[in-house]
Structure 1
Amino acid sequence: MYRWVRIAIVGKYTDLSDAYLSVLKALFHASVVIRKKLVVDMVPSCDLENTTKKEDSRAYEAAWKLLKDANGVLLPGGFGDRGMEGMILAAKYSRENNIPFLGICLGMQIAVIEFARSVLCLPDANSTEFESETKHPCIIFMPEGSTTHMGGTMRLGSRRAYFHVKDSKSARLYENKDFVDERHRHRYEVW
């Protein structure tokens, strides 16, 4: 017997039908494997912000209802700082309410920023992508990248990551190896 699972995708491009197509397909395939009927709610991240609360309270309330009704929250990739604070609010809501959460690319950066601000008590923590002179940079431009050329400057392909803390959850997930080779496609990394 199937049971429903409701996932909120909180992002910047929710009004573009194919912007998150690969994410939607992955969610659909995962739902088939676990024998659950998938319901995906697209939540515009800007609608979670206080600015929208003042300008369009209905959109604000609708966005928060979708987020609160979700069984899981996914923050996908994106570029620029538009809607970023709404994504941070979604990450915080998920963490504080033990809602399963997945941050992909920018979504993972947002999760790190939210954790630094809320848990580590660094209210001005940010990514250097959004605030180059932030007092507490937790996401930085990768050291070997070019700051002047945008095209073809992403870190692509396999990259070795070393575990500096041997008894961490991450190390245990990789069977306590000293390092792991992972696929990358990004310009920024956790500091």
Structure 2
Amino acid sequence: MGNFIKIGIIGDFESERPSHKATNEALNHCADYLRINLELQWLPTELLERDTDKSISKFDGLWCAPGVYKSMKGALNAIQFAREKDYPFIGTCAGFQHTVIEYARNKLGLNDAQHAEYDPHASNLIITALSCSLVGETRKIFINKNSRIYKFYNKTEVEERFSCNFGLNPNYRKLIDENGFKVVGTDEKGEVRILELPQNKFFIATLFQPQLSSLSTDPHKLILAYLACTKEFQLLLPGLMRLKATKPSSY
């Protein structure tokens, strides 16, 4: 089965949180399906506030988990690393929400972009309460046929499970999409449910949680695609590191 694939899970693990248990279980049974040896490590967000590159560059992929983070700064640092260094990345539920904030702050220059759950009175709320709670809900999602994620599902309509109360503020949808973070999945009301960076190897944010519906007998296609990409990335990484080490200085 080859070497271990190392996945760093951005989040503060809670053993009794169903989404956290589901994240571990889904990654493991999807890895078994692909005959991949997998090593998982949860990365507490407070430890990602400094020396982030050193903490996470050893991983082959990063997953931003659902839940409440002790440090938004730490989570955003890790997401920025994955985006800029082009590491395989997926953010689900709260991971989706924080991926949007990271992009808004560090790519679009909206330094005060904020999450309503952290600061409901902030002047630039890019993540706001959903019109209807999606906790425990299963909903249809319509996928753009020209997207990368369509290649994983090979369907334009799927059903996914949610467990969230917050999503992208609709007023920012056009700004996000037109500046590269493409809206590729929407619900029946046209609200954003999936975003992807098409130029990256694998950089996807979903408001739903694929780990909640993945089964050992029916592993989720998105998680399988993510792990397949991390395996490819692992093979490329030594060469990339050597290239970086031998690259001449520009000074």
Q: Which of 61, 66, 69 in structure 2 is aligned with 1:77?
A: 66
Question: Pairwise mapping of residues 76-95 of structure 1 onto structure 2 (< 5 A)?
Answer: 76-79=65-68, 82-95=70-83
The 3 A distance-change label for structure 1 pair 44 and 30 is same
Aligned to 1:10: 10
C-alpha distance in structure 1 between counterparts of 2:15 and 2:145, whole Å: 43
C-alpha distance in structure 1 between counterparts of 2:141 and 2:33, whole Å: 30
TM-score, normalised via structure 1 length: 0.73
Number of equivalenced pairs: 167
Question: Pairwise mapping of residues 154-169 of structure 1 onto structure 2 (< 5 A)?
Answer: 154-161=134-141
The Cα of 1:174 is off from its aligned counterpart by 6.7
Q: Which has the higher strand share?
A: 1
Aligned to 2:128: 140
C-alpha distance in structure 1 between counterparts of 2:151 and 2:123, whole Å: 32
Aligned to 1:184: 162
Higher relative contact order (CA 8 A, sep 6+): 2
The one-letter amino acid of 1:92's match is Q
Q: Which of 93, 100, 104 in structure 1 is aligned with 2:92?
A: 104
Render the CA deviation track for 1:13-63: whole Å, top value 9, x for unaligned: 3xx55653221111111222222211112211101114xxxxxxxxxx5x6
The one-letter amino acid of 2:63's match is L
The 3 A distance-change label for structure 1 pair 186 and 69 is same
Render the CA deviation track for 1:90-149: whole Å, top value 9, x for unaligned: 10000001111111211111111101111111111111111212232221101245xxxx
Render the CA deviation track for 1:142-173: whole Å, top value 9, x for unaligned: 1245xxxxxxxx5442335567x885556777
| Unaligned 5+ runs, structure 1 | 51-60, 146-153
| Unaligned 5+ runs, structure 2 | 170-251
C-alpha distance in structure 1 between counterparts of 2:154 and 2:42, whole Å: 36
Identity between Structure 1 and Structure 2 (%): 27
C-alpha distance in structure 1 between counterparts of 2:116 and 2:23, whole Å: 26
RMSD across aligned positions (CA): 2.7
C-alpha distance in structure 1 between counterparts of 2:8 and 2:132, whole Å: 35
C-alpha distance in structure 2 between counterparts of 1:180 and 1:32, whole Å: 24
C-alpha distance in structure 1 between counterparts of 2:107 and 2:60, whole Å: 23
CA contact (8 A) 1:12 1:83 kept: no
Secondary structure, in 3 states, of the residue corresponding to 1:185? coil
2:25 pairs with 1:25 = yes
TM-score, normalised via structure 2 length: 0.57
